[in-house]
Amino acid sequence: MKNSITAILFFVAGIACAKLEFIPQIVSDGNFTLYVLCFQMLFVGICMGAELNRSVILIKSLNIKILLVPFTAVVGTLLGVVVFSVFVNGMPLSDLLAVGSGFGYYSLSSIYISEIRNETLGAIALLANISREVIALLFTPLFAKRFGKLAPIAAAGATSMDTCLPVITSAVGRDYAIISVFSGVVLTVLVPFIITFIFSIM
């Protein structure tokens, strides 16, 4: 929750600085989002590389069905976006699918979408994926009670491996921590690939 609030505050501060012209013209005109994206991808790669051996061990130690958890999160999210698109006018389905494909990873997905499409859609991705994380944090106990112990993991998306992990393990038990981490890692890796794929075919 604290991370989400911090991200929102930085986002609002950025808007305020731009409106009040506190930022040099070279920053607003330059291709700085690309540089930020490159650094973001570098650190994501470092984190994934550091956890690679552990992830392989986890996969080997668990049933192959663990792969279905992130898969169902992807399918469920994209199907939900398609249903939601019926009630939204003025936005292409590709844009909506790309926003949903952030899977709660608001920092990377918003920068990525801003770079590929535009800053407006990037801002929508930021708010939508922060909302997903906040909803997961607030309603994890309800999700677990109503829909089963895997539901909070799918709802949290990429954040099931970090921000939402303590809440998830508290609601469903420590036995599900490994599945939660695995699902979050897979979805985190998939975010840039799925977003790029969606924009390339639609």
Q: For residue range 66-95, list pLDDT tens digits in order.
A: 778 899 999 999 999 999 999 888 889 999
Using CA atoms, how far residue 160 sits from 31, 81, 111, in Å, is: 32, 20, 21
Report the domain count for the chain: 1
pLDDT score for 197? 93
- Establish if 12 belongs to a structural domain: no
Neighbours of 35 (CB within 10 A): 10
Long-range Cβ pairs for the range 126-130 (8 Å, 24+): 126/7, 126/11, 127/8, 127/11, 128/99, 128/100, 128/102, 129/99, 129/102, 129/103, 129/104, 129/105, 129/157, 130/4, 130/7, 130/8, 130/106
- Establish if 4 belongs to a structural domain: no
Span 171-183, pLDDT tens digits: 888 778 888 888 9
- Establish if 87 belongs to a structural domain: yes
- Establish if 25 belongs to a structural domain: no
Task: Give the residue with greater pLDDT, 174 vs 148.
Answer: 148
In Å, the largest CA–CA distance within the chain is 55
- Establish if 120 belongs to a structural domain: yes
Dihedral, CA of residue 176, residue 58, residue 43 and residue 189, to nearest 10 = -80
Q: Please report which confidence band the pLDDT of residue 157 belongs to, taking 50, 70 and 90 as the band edges.
A: very high
pLDDT score for 12? 76
The predicted model gives 139-146 an average pLDDT of 90
User: What does the alpha-carbon distance between residue 79 and residue 84 come to, in Å, rounded to a whole number?
Assistant: 9
Q: Which domain holds residue 173?
A: 31-201
Dihedral, CA of residue 171, residue 172, residue 175 and residue 179, to nearest 10 = -100
